[in-house]
Structure 1
Amino acid sequence: MTRVIFNTATTLDGYLADDADSLSWLFGVPGADEATSDFPDFLTTIGAIVMGSTTFEWVVRHEDLLTKPEKWQDFYGGRLCVVMTTRKLPAIDGADIRFHAGPVTDICCELQEAAGDRDVWVVGGGDLVGQFADAGLLDEIRVSIAPVTLGSGRPLLPRRLESDRLTLESARKAGQFAELVYSVGRPDRSRG
Protein backbone atom coordinates (compact mmCIF):
# COMPACT_ATOMS: atom_id res chain seq x y z
CA MET A 1 0.00 0.00 0.00
CA THR A 2 1.28 3.46 -0.89
CA ARG A 3 2.46 5.48 2.09
CA VAL A 4 3.02 9.23 2.36
CA ILE A 5 6.43 9.92 3.90
CA PHE A 6 8.10 13.13 5.05
CA ASN A 7 11.88 12.64 4.90
CA THR A 8 13.97 15.67 5.81
CA ALA A 9 16.79 17.12 7.88
CA THR A 10 16.25 19.60 10.67
CA THR A 11 18.28 21.57 13.16
CA LEU A 12 18.38 20.55 16.81
CA ASP A 13 15.93 23.36 17.56
CA GLY A 14 13.50 22.22 14.87
CA TYR A 15 14.08 24.35 11.77
CA LEU A 16 14.19 23.16 8.15
CA ALA A 17 15.74 26.37 6.81
CA ASP A 18 16.88 29.70 8.17
CA ASP A 19 14.90 32.94 7.88
CA ALA A 20 16.24 33.46 4.33
CA ASP A 21 15.15 29.92 3.28
CA SER A 22 18.80 28.84 3.17
CA LEU A 23 20.09 25.35 3.91
CA SER A 24 23.71 26.45 4.29
CA TRP A 25 23.56 25.25 7.92
CA LEU A 26 23.00 21.71 6.63
CA PHE A 27 25.84 21.62 4.11
CA GLY A 28 28.37 22.73 6.73
CA VAL A 29 27.79 19.79 9.10
CA PRO A 30 30.70 17.33 9.25
CA GLY A 31 29.56 13.80 8.48
CA ALA A 32 26.70 14.86 6.19
CA ASP A 33 27.89 12.39 3.53
CA GLU A 34 27.54 9.51 5.98
CA ALA A 35 24.09 10.73 7.03
CA THR A 36 22.87 10.77 3.43
CA SER A 37 24.57 7.57 2.27
CA ASP A 38 21.31 5.57 2.30
CA PHE A 39 19.33 8.28 0.50
CA PRO A 40 19.66 6.61 -2.95
CA ASP A 41 18.04 3.49 -1.44
CA PHE A 42 15.21 5.65 -0.06
CA LEU A 43 14.62 7.16 -3.52
CA THR A 44 14.10 3.69 -5.01
CA THR A 45 11.03 3.36 -2.76
CA ILE A 46 9.51 6.62 -4.03
CA GLY A 47 7.08 6.73 -6.93
CA ALA A 48 5.79 10.31 -6.68
CA ILE A 49 6.81 13.57 -5.04
CA VAL A 50 4.96 16.57 -3.64
CA MET A 51 6.54 19.82 -2.47
CA GLY A 52 5.58 23.34 -1.56
CA SER A 53 6.34 26.35 -3.71
CA THR A 54 9.12 27.73 -1.49
CA THR A 55 10.89 24.37 -1.52
CA PHE A 56 10.49 24.14 -5.30
CA GLU A 57 11.86 27.66 -5.79
CA TRP A 58 14.86 26.85 -3.59
CA VAL A 59 15.60 23.65 -5.57
CA VAL A 60 15.30 25.50 -8.88
CA ARG A 61 17.65 28.27 -7.66
CA HIS A 62 20.11 26.03 -5.82
CA GLU A 63 20.49 23.57 -8.70
CA ASP A 64 20.21 26.22 -11.47
CA LEU A 65 17.49 24.09 -13.08
CA LEU A 66 16.32 26.69 -15.56
CA THR A 67 19.66 26.47 -17.39
CA LYS A 68 20.48 22.87 -16.37
CA PRO A 69 17.12 21.03 -16.42
CA GLU A 70 18.85 17.65 -16.75
CA LYS A 71 19.83 17.95 -13.07
CA TRP A 72 16.15 17.45 -12.15
CA GLN A 73 16.12 14.13 -13.96
CA ASP A 74 19.46 13.14 -12.39
CA PHE A 75 18.04 13.55 -8.89
CA TYR A 76 14.26 13.03 -9.08
CA GLY A 77 14.13 10.82 -12.19
CA GLY A 78 10.89 10.60 -14.14
CA ARG A 79 8.69 10.66 -11.05
CA LEU A 80 5.60 12.84 -11.01
CA CYS A 81 6.14 15.93 -8.85
CA VAL A 82 3.18 18.00 -7.73
CA VAL A 83 4.11 21.49 -6.56
CA MET A 84 1.52 23.07 -4.29
CA THR A 85 1.33 26.76 -5.15
CA THR A 86 -0.96 29.69 -5.72
CA ARG A 87 1.72 31.50 -7.75
CA LYS A 88 2.89 31.01 -11.31
CA LEU A 89 6.20 29.13 -11.20
CA PRO A 90 8.58 28.11 -13.98
CA ALA A 91 8.36 24.66 -15.53
CA ILE A 92 11.50 22.55 -15.83
CA ASP A 93 12.10 21.15 -19.31
CA GLY A 94 11.64 17.38 -19.42
CA ALA A 95 10.29 17.08 -15.86
CA ASP A 96 6.84 15.73 -15.00
CA ILE A 97 5.89 18.65 -12.74
CA ARG A 98 2.30 19.68 -12.15
CA PHE A 99 1.28 22.78 -10.25
CA HIS A 100 -1.75 22.65 -7.96
CA ALA A 101 -3.58 25.22 -5.88
CA GLY A 102 -6.01 23.77 -3.40
CA PRO A 103 -6.23 21.23 -0.60
CA VAL A 104 -3.85 18.28 -0.45
CA THR A 105 -6.85 15.96 -0.43
CA ASP A 106 -7.47 16.99 -4.07
CA ILE A 107 -4.16 15.52 -5.25
CA CYS A 108 -3.88 12.41 -3.08
CA CYS A 109 -5.39 9.98 -5.60
CA GLU A 110 -3.21 11.37 -8.40
CA LEU A 111 -0.07 10.98 -6.28
CA GLN A 112 -0.98 7.44 -5.17
CA GLU A 113 -1.77 6.40 -8.73
CA ALA A 114 1.56 7.81 -9.98
CA ALA A 115 3.43 6.13 -7.11
CA GLY A 116 2.00 2.71 -7.97
CA ASP A 117 3.41 0.17 -5.52
CA ARG A 118 5.93 2.69 -4.15
CA ASP A 119 5.55 5.60 -1.72
CA VAL A 120 4.90 9.34 -1.98
CA TRP A 121 7.63 11.65 -0.66
CA VAL A 122 6.54 14.98 0.81
CA VAL A 123 9.75 16.93 0.29
CA GLY A 124 8.65 20.00 2.24
CA GLY A 125 8.01 22.44 3.60
CA GLY A 126 6.69 22.03 7.06
CA ASP A 127 3.30 23.62 6.49
CA LEU A 128 2.62 21.31 3.53
CA VAL A 129 3.51 18.31 5.68
CA GLY A 130 1.18 19.70 8.32
CA GLN A 131 -1.65 19.81 5.79
CA PHE A 132 -1.11 16.10 5.05
CA ALA A 133 -1.07 15.37 8.80
CA ASP A 134 -4.23 17.43 9.37
CA ALA A 135 -6.02 15.45 6.65
CA GLY A 136 -4.90 12.12 8.12
CA LEU A 137 -2.80 11.39 5.03
CA LEU A 138 0.72 11.38 6.52
CA ASP A 139 2.04 7.90 7.35
CA GLU A 140 5.66 8.43 8.35
CA ILE A 141 8.12 11.12 9.41
CA ARG A 142 11.83 10.47 8.88
CA VAL A 143 13.90 13.26 10.33
CA SER A 144 17.68 13.59 10.52
CA ILE A 145 18.57 15.97 13.33
CA ALA A 146 21.73 18.02 12.77
CA PRO A 147 23.96 19.41 15.53
CA VAL A 148 23.01 22.98 14.64
CA THR A 149 20.69 25.54 16.23
CA LEU A 150 19.36 28.57 14.35
CA GLY A 151 17.08 30.27 16.87
CA SER A 152 14.53 31.01 14.15
CA GLY A 153 13.60 29.99 10.64
CA ARG A 154 11.18 27.66 8.87
CA PRO A 155 9.76 25.20 11.42
CA LEU A 156 9.97 21.45 10.89
CA LEU A 157 6.25 20.92 11.31
CA PRO A 158 4.19 23.91 12.43
CA ARG A 159 1.40 21.76 13.81
CA ARG A 160 0.57 20.18 17.11
CA LEU A 161 0.91 16.41 16.87
CA GLU A 162 0.54 14.66 20.20
CA SER A 163 2.27 11.45 21.24
CA ASP A 164 -0.94 9.46 20.64
CA ARG A 165 -0.33 9.99 16.90
CA LEU A 166 3.44 9.47 16.79
CA THR A 167 5.17 6.13 17.39
CA LEU A 168 8.95 5.90 17.34
CA GLU A 169 9.88 3.09 14.95
CA SER A 170 13.66 3.50 14.88
CA ALA A 171 16.57 5.70 15.91
CA ARG A 172 20.13 5.57 14.63
CA LYS A 173 23.32 7.59 14.56
CA ALA A 174 24.57 8.64 11.11
CA GLY A 175 27.72 10.72 11.36
CA GLN A 176 26.83 13.76 13.44
CA PHE A 177 23.11 13.26 12.76
CA ALA A 178 20.45 11.39 14.72
CA GLU A 179 17.88 9.82 12.40
CA LEU A 180 14.44 9.22 13.88
CA VAL A 181 11.58 7.43 12.14
CA TYR A 182 8.05 7.88 13.45
CA SER A 183 4.86 6.31 12.17
CA VAL A 184 1.97 8.78 12.18
CA GLY A 185 -1.52 7.77 13.28
CA ARG A 186 -4.74 9.27 12.05
CA PRO A 187 -6.20 12.27 13.89
CA ASP A 188 -8.87 11.65 16.50
CA ARG A 189 -11.81 13.61 15.05
CA SER A 190 -13.78 13.26 18.31
CA ARG A 191 -11.50 15.73 20.13
CA GLY A 192 -12.55 19.37 20.25
Structure 2
Amino acid sequence: MTRTTYYTAMTLDGFLADEHDSLDWLFVQEQDEQGPLNYDAFIKDIGAIVMGATTYEWILANHVDKGEPWMYDVPTWVVSHREHRRVEGADLRFAQGDVAPLHDQMIEAAGGKDLWVVGGGDLAAQFAEAGRLDEVICYIAPVTLGAGRPLFPRRFDFRLAEVHRNKAFIAARYEVVGPRAA
Protein backbone atom coordinates (compact mmCIF):
# COMPACT_ATOMS: atom_id res chain seq x y z
CA MET A 1 0.00 0.00 0.00
CA THR A 2 1.32 3.43 -0.94
CA ARG A 3 2.21 5.62 2.04
CA THR A 4 2.42 9.40 2.00
CA THR A 5 5.15 10.80 4.23
CA TYR A 6 6.23 14.29 5.17
CA TYR A 7 9.99 13.75 5.63
CA THR A 8 11.77 16.83 6.95
CA ALA A 9 13.95 18.43 9.60
CA MET A 10 13.09 21.14 12.08
CA THR A 11 14.60 23.16 14.88
CA LEU A 12 13.85 22.42 18.52
CA ASP A 13 11.31 25.27 18.50
CA GLY A 14 9.47 23.83 15.50
CA PHE A 15 10.72 25.73 12.45
CA LEU A 16 11.76 24.37 9.05
CA ALA A 17 13.57 27.53 8.00
CA ASP A 18 14.17 30.98 9.42
CA GLU A 19 12.14 34.02 8.41
CA HIS A 20 14.42 34.46 5.34
CA ASP A 21 13.94 30.80 4.27
CA SER A 22 17.51 29.97 5.27
CA LEU A 23 18.49 26.44 6.27
CA ASP A 24 21.96 27.39 7.49
CA TRP A 25 21.10 25.93 10.92
CA LEU A 26 20.56 22.48 9.35
CA PHE A 27 23.78 21.90 7.47
CA VAL A 28 26.08 22.45 10.47
CA GLN A 29 24.52 19.64 12.51
CA GLU A 30 26.42 16.39 12.92
CA GLN A 31 24.62 13.27 11.71
CA ASP A 32 25.27 9.69 10.64
CA GLU A 33 24.03 9.61 7.04
CA GLN A 34 23.43 5.86 7.37
CA GLY A 35 21.81 6.19 10.81
CA PRO A 36 18.20 5.62 11.82
CA LEU A 37 15.45 6.95 9.55
CA ASN A 38 18.13 8.11 7.11
CA TYR A 39 17.46 9.79 3.79
CA ASP A 40 19.06 7.10 1.58
CA ALA A 41 16.86 4.35 3.02
CA PHE A 42 13.81 6.61 2.78
CA ILE A 43 14.27 7.86 -0.82
CA LYS A 44 14.75 4.38 -2.33
CA ASP A 45 11.04 3.65 -1.73
CA ILE A 46 9.75 6.98 -3.11
CA GLY A 47 7.95 6.99 -6.47
CA ALA A 48 6.64 10.58 -6.57
CA ILE A 49 7.32 13.87 -4.80
CA VAL A 50 5.36 17.04 -4.08
CA MET A 51 6.68 20.36 -2.82
CA GLY A 52 5.56 23.93 -2.41
CA ALA A 53 6.82 26.93 -4.36
CA THR A 54 9.20 28.15 -1.65
CA THR A 55 10.89 24.75 -1.44
CA TYR A 56 11.16 24.58 -5.22
CA GLU A 57 12.69 28.06 -5.43
CA TRP A 58 15.13 27.16 -2.64
CA ILE A 59 16.28 24.06 -4.55
CA LEU A 60 16.74 26.13 -7.71
CA ALA A 61 18.77 28.83 -5.92
CA ASN A 62 20.88 26.51 -3.78
CA HIS A 63 21.50 23.63 -6.17
CA VAL A 64 20.39 24.03 -9.78
CA ASP A 65 21.62 27.62 -10.15
CA LYS A 66 24.99 26.50 -8.76
CA GLY A 67 25.42 24.00 -11.57
CA GLU A 68 24.12 20.91 -9.81
CA PRO A 69 21.66 18.65 -11.63
CA TRP A 70 18.04 18.29 -10.54
CA MET A 71 18.22 16.04 -7.52
CA TYR A 72 15.20 13.77 -8.06
CA ASP A 73 14.59 11.12 -10.71
CA VAL A 74 10.89 10.61 -9.97
CA PRO A 75 7.87 12.69 -11.02
CA THR A 76 7.82 15.87 -8.95
CA TRP A 77 4.85 18.18 -8.49
CA VAL A 78 5.26 21.82 -7.48
CA VAL A 79 2.14 23.31 -5.91
CA SER A 80 1.93 27.03 -6.58
CA HIS A 81 -0.36 29.81 -7.71
CA ARG A 82 2.32 31.43 -9.87
CA GLU A 83 4.48 30.53 -12.86
CA HIS A 84 7.94 29.02 -12.29
CA ARG A 85 10.82 28.25 -14.55
CA ARG A 86 11.45 24.63 -15.41
CA VAL A 87 14.57 22.53 -15.05
CA GLU A 88 15.68 20.83 -18.25
CA GLY A 89 15.46 17.04 -18.01
CA ALA A 90 13.42 17.03 -14.77
CA ASP A 91 9.99 15.41 -14.64
CA LEU A 92 8.30 18.49 -13.16
CA ARG A 93 4.57 19.03 -13.01
CA PHE A 94 2.95 22.18 -11.72
CA ALA A 95 -0.38 22.15 -9.88
CA GLN A 96 -2.65 24.27 -7.76
CA GLY A 97 -5.85 23.83 -5.81
CA ASP A 98 -7.20 20.84 -3.91
CA VAL A 99 -4.50 18.29 -3.04
CA ALA A 100 -6.86 15.26 -3.02
CA PRO A 101 -6.99 14.84 -6.83
CA LEU A 102 -3.27 15.66 -6.98
CA HIS A 103 -2.62 12.86 -4.49
CA ASP A 104 -4.49 10.45 -6.76
CA GLN A 105 -2.31 11.50 -9.73
CA MET A 106 0.81 11.01 -7.64
CA ILE A 107 -0.23 7.50 -6.58
CA GLU A 108 -0.74 6.56 -10.21
CA ALA A 109 2.65 8.01 -11.23
CA ALA A 110 4.47 6.37 -8.29
CA GLY A 111 3.92 2.87 -9.66
CA GLY A 112 3.31 1.23 -6.30
CA LYS A 113 6.01 3.16 -4.46
CA ASP A 114 5.50 5.72 -1.69
CA LEU A 115 4.93 9.47 -1.89
CA TRP A 116 7.03 12.21 -0.29
CA VAL A 117 5.69 15.59 0.75
CA VAL A 118 9.00 17.50 0.76
CA GLY A 119 7.67 20.77 2.15
CA GLY A 120 6.65 23.16 3.30
CA GLY A 121 4.59 22.82 6.38
CA ASP A 122 1.46 24.40 4.93
CA LEU A 123 1.46 21.95 2.02
CA ALA A 124 1.91 18.99 4.39
CA ALA A 125 -1.00 20.31 6.46
CA GLN A 126 -3.18 20.48 3.34
CA PHE A 127 -2.46 16.80 2.67
CA ALA A 128 -3.25 15.96 6.31
CA GLU A 129 -6.52 17.93 6.23
CA ALA A 130 -7.52 16.01 3.09
CA GLY A 131 -6.83 12.72 4.90
CA ARG A 132 -3.93 12.02 2.52
CA LEU A 133 -0.92 12.15 4.88
CA ASP A 134 0.04 8.96 6.72
CA GLU A 135 3.13 9.93 8.66
CA VAL A 136 5.72 12.56 9.50
CA ILE A 137 9.39 11.65 9.74
CA CYS A 138 11.28 14.49 11.33
CA TYR A 139 14.88 15.10 12.29
CA ILE A 140 14.86 17.53 15.24
CA ALA A 141 17.99 19.68 15.54
CA PRO A 142 19.42 21.17 18.76
CA VAL A 143 18.96 24.78 17.71
CA THR A 144 16.23 27.40 18.06
CA LEU A 145 15.33 30.19 15.65
CA GLY A 146 12.57 32.04 17.48
CA ALA A 147 10.69 32.65 14.22
CA GLY A 148 10.39 31.31 10.70
CA ARG A 149 8.48 28.69 8.72
CA PRO A 150 6.66 26.31 11.09
CA LEU A 151 6.79 22.55 10.73
CA PHE A 152 3.01 22.21 10.69
CA PRO A 153 0.88 25.36 10.90
CA ARG A 154 -2.38 23.62 11.86
CA ARG A 155 -3.76 21.97 14.99
CA PHE A 156 -3.21 18.23 14.53
CA ASP A 157 -2.61 15.19 16.69
CA PHE A 158 0.15 12.70 15.96
CA ARG A 159 1.18 9.40 17.55
CA LEU A 160 4.87 8.73 18.15
CA ALA A 161 5.69 5.47 16.36
CA GLU A 162 9.49 5.44 16.45
CA VAL A 163 12.31 7.53 17.94
CA HIS A 164 16.12 7.37 17.71
CA ARG A 165 19.19 9.46 18.28
CA ASN A 166 21.25 10.25 15.21
CA LYS A 167 24.28 12.14 16.52
CA ALA A 168 23.01 15.74 17.01
CA PHE A 169 19.44 14.92 15.95
CA ILE A 170 16.41 13.25 17.40
CA ALA A 171 14.98 11.18 14.52
CA ALA A 172 11.27 10.51 15.02
CA ARG A 173 8.45 8.98 13.04
CA TYR A 174 4.88 10.01 13.84
CA GLU A 175 1.61 8.60 12.55
CA VAL A 176 -1.01 11.19 11.64
CA VAL A 177 -4.01 10.88 13.97
CA GLY A 178 -6.14 13.77 12.74
CA PRO A 179 -7.23 17.36 13.33
CA ARG A 180 -7.06 18.55 16.91
CA ALA A 181 -10.28 19.92 18.37
CA ALA A 182 -10.17 23.66 19.05
- Range into which the TM-score falls when normalised by the shorter chain: over 0.9
TM-score (norm 1): 0.88
Q: AA paired with 2:151?
A: L
Post-superposition shift, 1:118? 1.0
Write out aligned runs for 1:1-192 (5 A): 1-29=1-29, 31-32=30-31, 34=32, 38-63=38-63, 65-66=64-65, 68=67, 71-72=69-70, 75-77=71-73, 79-162=74-157, 166-186=158-178
Separation in structure 1 between the aligned mates of residue 57 and residue 129 of structure 2, nearest angstrom: 24
Partner secondary structure for residue 128 of structure 2: helix
Structure 2 stretches lacking a partner, 5+ long: none
Structure 1 stretches lacking a partner, 5+ long: none
Q: AA paired with 1:81?
A: T
Contact 2:156 2:178 in 1 (8 A): no
Separation in structure 2 between the aligned mates of residue 175 and residue 156 of structure 1, nearest angstrom: 21
Superposed CA offset, 1:136-172 (max 9, x none): 110010000000000000000001013xxx2211000
Q: Percent identity?
A: 46
Post-superposition shift, 1:183? 1.1
Post-superposition shift, 1:106? 2.4
Post-superposition shift, 1:185? 3.1
Q: AA paired with 2:9?
A: A
Contact 1:2 1:117 in 2 (8 A): yes
Separation in structure 2 between the aligned mates of residue 127 and residue 9 of structure 1, nearest angstrom: 15
**Between Structure 1 and Structure 2, which shows a larger proportion of helix residues?**
1
Separation in structure 2 between the aligned mates of residue 35 and residue 89 of structure 1, nearest angstrom: 32
Superposed CA offset, 1:66-109 (max 9, x none): 573x621xx312x0000000111010000000011111112111
Contact 1:167 1:182 in 2 (8 A): yes
**Cα root mean square deviation, aligned:** 1.7
